[in-house]
Structure 1
Amino acid sequence: MIERTGSPTQQEHELLKLQHAPPLQDAARPSSASTLQSTAQPSHSKAESLNLIYVEWAEGDPENPYNWPKWKKAMVAFVGVFLTFHSAIGAVCYAWGADDIAREFGVSPTLSLLGVSLFTLAFGLAPMALAPLSEVYGRWPVYMGSYAVFCIVQLPNALTPTFAGVLICRFIAGVGASTGSAMVGGTLADMYKANERGMPMAFFTSATLFGTAAGSMYAAYVVANRSLGWRWIFWVELIINGASAVFMVLALRESRGSVLLSRRAKRLRKETGDDRYVCAADAARESLLVLIRYSLTRPFFLLFCEPTVALFSIWASFAWGLLYLFLVAVPIVYREAFDWQGGKASLPFIAMIIGALLGIALSPVQDRLYLRSARKHNGVGRPEARLYMSIIGSLLLSFGMFIFGWSAYGSHAHWSGSAVGILLGTFGIFTIYSAVFSYMSDCYGQWTSSALAGQSFLRNVFASAFPLFGRQMYANLGNQWASSLLGFLALALTAVPIALFIYGPRVRRASKFAASDD
């Protein structure tokens, strides 16, 4: 431990002036007090009159998450990735019972899909309020509290006698599951330095794709079993959630460095009776309401005022919307073209798992390309070097949609053709999501969390909308032309990474927030 007395240094004040709000996803910054993840400028007079003692990490401090043993990092990372996987299952499993829910409550199949849309909408909204809580109280209580909500709400969801009750429960479940999507990236950044984060982030990215596939397959077979029915989707969720909660309590550890330092300072105040012990984040932190206000406003400012954030958000949101569109498109295509009914109609999602595995396998290629760029620029990689694989992946997403639709056309069509389209599309979605996270982290420094929160909100809005119009689009345009329309849009959006790869340095120089190469 390092103890430093007096007021913050001039450099620290400059950092504090820039950081008026807490990270929403804490994407790419250490959590030690030496980097001061703080939220407001502390008073000079207070610091000088009290001669505060700032508690900071010492070199090699074993309590610093960056210095945890590999097994401990892996354990906490596994819990986070599992939460992401499970939240994805919770998001998509409902879709396979939507038709039965519509029949039971006398609503249209499209209206029934609101259960998916409200869940994903909560994914985008809830983290803006939950993230400041993790800044003040730590990640562990926010994870556990939200997961408890996710667990408990499965019970009324399985028992509710009204459609309105189903929708309310789905929104609340989305709030509870949202930390599995929004906070895990920050947890990984708490423990792994930027050059160590490649594979953990690859597993985090793929967990959503694995969960989408696994949730679709298990829910399809549950609904197909008429002795169970759609309510058993939520009974199974309740059972799995309950067992997982025990594992979380045993394995999850607090990883946010500023919170750990705050606890250490509190312990020192109690042990010594000296109230001057503080960590820099506590000395600079605004009230919780102020933090929430910043968390709710700054992401939208960057989303609408920063061209890079806006373009990347549209690109990533469209890709994420296609992921959720597969929930309605895959069963439609395979039922109509290949007569795959019941649970069998979900088996093409195995191709999604293969696509995600391909993304993990090729992630080191992107890492090597980035390191090669760093060697050419005095050891500092340019953000544009994060885009190599995503340009290829964006093209493959477009080609995948064409293959998905047209391989199911004609009397001699084979199911494997459309499965290849799903595989290529999934790989493209993987590379796009990874590139957006990495590029924004490199570009926006202390603004990273707000930039990512803005794109996360838009991404989940797209995800909530695509299933609602997807069924009508495929019914009106036909399987081939509906898929082709999406393929053409994906092809057009490939211009986003290409343009930023070429003109990115110029755009960053013109930005008030993005880092430039100068």
Structure 2
Amino acid sequence: MQSYLQYRNIGHVVRQQLGTDPEKTHSDLPSSVSSSGTETPADDADSCPADRVMTSRSQRSTMGHALNGIQVRDRTTIEGKGGSVFIVGWDGECDPANPHNFSKTRRVMTTLIVSSIAFVVGMASSIDSAVLRQAAADFGVSEVAESLATGIYLIGYSVGALFAGPFSETLGRNVVYISTLVLFSIFIMASGLAPNFGAQVVFRFLAGFFGSTPLVCAGGSTSDMWNAVEKTYAFPIFAVGGFCGPVLGPVIGSYIGVGHIGSWRWTEWISLITSGLVLSLVILFQPETYAPILLKWKARHLREITGDNRYRAELEITHTTFWTRMKIALSRPFTMLTEPIIILMALYLTVLYIVLFTFLDGYTFIFSDVYGISQGLTNIIFAAMVVGMLLAMVIVPPLFQLTKKDMESVLAKGGTHIDPEIRLWFAMLGGSLSIPVSLFWMGWTDFVSISIWSPIIASVMFGYGVICVFISAYMYIIDSYEVYAASALAFVTLLRYACAGGMTVAGIPFYKNMGTHWTLTILGCISMPLVPIPYVFYKWGYLVRRHSKHAVTRK
């Protein structure tokens, strides 16, 4: 619905652009367009009117040369010999169809909707862990086997992430968000109706596969609307909402199966209901933000209005088939294996996700077994991580001012882009160090003689560290690789979710055989060598980018 209204609005914007100088375009337009154009004379145009440059071309070609945002060039051999092609661009910096010029309210709302998609698919990834015992008993399998319902969902995430990018770059963000959310909902419903354990595992994998879209596309959606400085607060808006999903999943399902809601299958029904609500928001209020698709719509309107088929968007004249893009998308992420930035950031996030998702099993050992609290209350404690994630928002305002100041310095020197290393401040301001500290703290205060609030506070610290490192890693990768960012993020997503999915199944034996103290100590020791990564890249990251085949270099 919103995309249809947006498409019509672009047509209105095009007519306004053509009507800003009716004397110069009247001879080339149908009478209906000319008359509508006179309703918006040049004197009423905004502060960024379309520029006009008269040429000696024919009347039909004159308009193509005169319209602001239209690049005229000769056709290539592939496009057909002879004549010109009009490449459609934005009508100056203030083109209202450009997502960067949407009102701030609309951009925040759109970011929150994308975040809500990430929230619902993240919630579905972990909510089953809250009813592990009940589902295992119902299917007649062990709890270790039933934990595969969570693990296989995460593996579905990792595989689906490879396909989401090329689809969104061909069809647009909205079509992909809507279609995958519909399919996600269908397979979540199928999981809830699964007659046996095998069917549940298959349906959970497919739900994860189609739920992976926001993991890859959300970074693109954010970049579609926000400039480099604005992303300092825009991306955390997405990240907090998205990260709260897997953390709040156990909280939402905490009393299912043990309270008045008797069946464990209600975890899937709650996920289905939530996804339905989010799908409604996407359909009704989510605009398309992918610029090449919007320019394709604009070119189509120009062809219809003027009757001139030479108006083309770049996407329409780029002779790359969808299957070629898919081949590139599936192979390019693995070329990132030579990129130190990608390897280390992927390793960092993989360790964090292994810890986070083994907590789905581990909290039972950490809290229920030690302190004797109920299954429902143990799952409620996951909310402590959310508190830590929200605390991270305290550092957003000062970092926004720091980024703004850095951008002003770059512009004063004649540059146009900030250096990606400034994104590492989120991790450097205690984010990276708080992760091993919180794990050691939780591991060595997890005794019945010590207050339960000690490991709970450690959980708060862990939540703070996870969100800070996630924001830094994602923003640093996006700014460092720009056009290759989708491939870089696809590889990072593939690695971290595949490993996290496998470790989810290993979590119960790990905690049961090693005990909570040594398990958390081992995890803390693994995360300890990763602490210097953001500091190292902040100091020498520009040198690493300078020797990279894919990263941008600005220093």
Q: TM-score scaled to structure 1, two decimals?
A: 0.88
Compare 312-321 and 291-300 and name the one that shifted more.
Answer: 312-321
Whole-angstrom CA distance in 2 between matches of 1:414 and 1:340: 13
Three-state SS of the structure 1 residue aligned to 2:229 is helix
1:170-189 maps to which residues of 2 (within 5 A)?
170-189=204-223
Task: Give per-residue Cα distances to partners, 1:236-275, cap 9 Å, x unaligned.
Answer: 2222322332232211111111101101212222333322
For 2:98, the equivalent position in structure 1 comes to 64
Whole-angstrom CA distance in 1 between matches of 2:87 and 2:409: 39
The answer to whether the Cα contact below 8 Å between 1:155 and 1:238 also exists between their aligned partners in 2 is yes
Which of 1 and 2 has greater Rg? 2
Q: CA 1:75–1:434 in structure 2 vs 1: closer, same or farther (change >3 Å)?
A: same
For 2:342, the equivalent position in structure 1 comes to 309
1:368-379 maps to which residues of 2 (within 5 A)?
368-371=401-404
Q: CA 1:247–1:475 in structure 2 vs 1: closer, same or farther (change >3 Å)?
A: same
Whole-angstrom CA distance in 2 between matches of 1:318 and 1:285: 41
- 2:167 corresponds, among 128, 133, 156, to 133
Q: How many angstroms does 1:208 deviate by? A: 2.9
For 1:492, the equivalent position in structure 2 comes to 529
For 2:487, the equivalent position in structure 1 comes to 450
Q: How many angstroms does 1:502 deviate by? A: 2.9
One-letter amino acid matched to 1:470: G
The answer to whether the Cα contact below 8 Å between 1:375 and 1:381 also exists between their aligned partners in 2 is no
Whole-angstrom CA distance in 2 between matches of 1:513 and 1:468: 36
Q: State whether structure 2 residue 439 is matched by structure 1 residue 405.
A: no
For 2:34, the equivalent position in structure 1 comes to none
Q: State whether structure 2 residue 462 is matched by structure 1 residue 425.
A: yes
Q: State whether structure 2 residue 432 is matched by structure 1 residue 394.
A: yes
For 1:288, the equivalent position in structure 2 comes to 322
Whole-angstrom CA distance in 2 between matches of 1:44 and 1:495: 53
Q: State whether structure 2 residue 422 is matched by structure 1 residue 356.
A: no
5+ unaligned residues in a row in structure 2: which ranges? 1-66
One-letter amino acid matched to 1:108: S
- 1:335 corresponds, among 361, 364, 368, to 368
Whole-angstrom CA distance in 1 between matches of 2:502 and 2:262: 29
Compare 42-51 and 304-313 and name the one that shifted more.
Answer: 42-51
For 2:70, the equivalent position in structure 1 comes to 4
Q: CA 1:396–1:298 in structure 2 vs 1: closer, same or farther (change >3 Å)?
A: same
Q: How many angstroms does 1:45 deviate by? A: 5.9
Q: TM-score scaled to structure 2, two decimals?
A: 0.83
Q: How many angstroms does 1:454 deviate by? A: 1.2
Q: CA 1:239–1:386 in structure 2 vs 1: closer, same or farther (change >3 Å)?
A: closer
One-letter amino acid matched to 1:336: D
1:242-281 maps to which residues of 2 (within 5 A)?
242-281=276-315
Q: How many angstroms does 1:373 deviate by? A: 5.0
Whole-angstrom CA distance in 2 between matches of 1:108 and 1:50: 71
Q: How many angstroms does 1:375 deviate by? A: 6.0
Whole-angstrom CA distance in 2 between matches of 1:156 and 1:113: 18
Aligned-CA RMSD value:
2.1
For 2:274, the equivalent position in structure 1 comes to 240
| Matched residues, number | 483
Q: CA 1:209–1:404 in structure 2 vs 1: closer, same or farther (change >3 Å)?
A: farther
Three-state SS of the structure 2 residue aligned to 1:94 is helix
Task: Give per-residue Cα distances to partners, 1:139-184, cap 9 Å, x unaligned.
Answer: 1111111111122223221221111110111111112221233222
5+ unaligned residues in a row in structure 1: which ranges? 9-41
Three-state SS of the structure 1 residue aligned to 2:87 is strand
**Which structure is higher in RCO with an 8 Å CA cutoff and minimum separation 6?**
1
Q: CA 1:228–1:483 in structure 2 vs 1: closer, same or farther (change >3 Å)?
A: same
For 2:186, the equivalent position in structure 1 comes to 152
For 1:514, the equivalent position in structure 2 comes to 551
Percent identical: 25
The answer to whether the Cα contact below 8 Å between 1:401 and 1:484 also exists between their aligned partners in 2 is yes
Whole-angstrom CA distance in 1 between matches of 2:105 and 2:517: 49
1:97-246 maps to which residues of 2 (within 5 A)?
97-225=131-259, 227-246=261-280
Q: How many angstroms does 1:124 deviate by? A: 1.9
Whole-angstrom CA distance in 1 between matches of 2:82 and 2:180: 41
Q: CA 1:57–1:374 in structure 2 vs 1: closer, same or farther (change >3 Å)?
A: closer
The answer to whether the Cα contact below 8 Å between 1:87 and 1:181 also exists between their aligned partners in 2 is no
For 1:96, the equivalent position in structure 2 comes to 130
Q: How many angstroms does 1:451 deviate by? A: 1.4
Task: Give per-residue Cα distances to partners, 1:452-481, cap 9 Å, x unaligned.
Answer: 221121121122122122211111111111
Q: How many angstroms does 1:235 deviate by? A: 1.8
- 2:451 corresponds, among 402, 407, 414, to 414
Three-state SS of the structure 2 residue aligned to 1:183 is helix
One-letter amino acid matched to 2:443: G
Q: How many angstroms does 1:130 deviate by? A: 2.5
Whole-angstrom CA distance in 2 between matches of 1:191 and 1:376: 23
Task: Give per-residue Cα distances to partners, 1:330-364, cap 9 Å, x unaligned.
Answer: 22211011111121111211211111101122123
The answer to whether the Cα contact below 8 Å between 1:2 and 1:55 also exists between their aligned partners in 2 is no
Q: CA 1:320–1:379 in structure 2 vs 1: closer, same or farther (change >3 Å)?
A: same
One-letter amino acid matched to 2:503: F
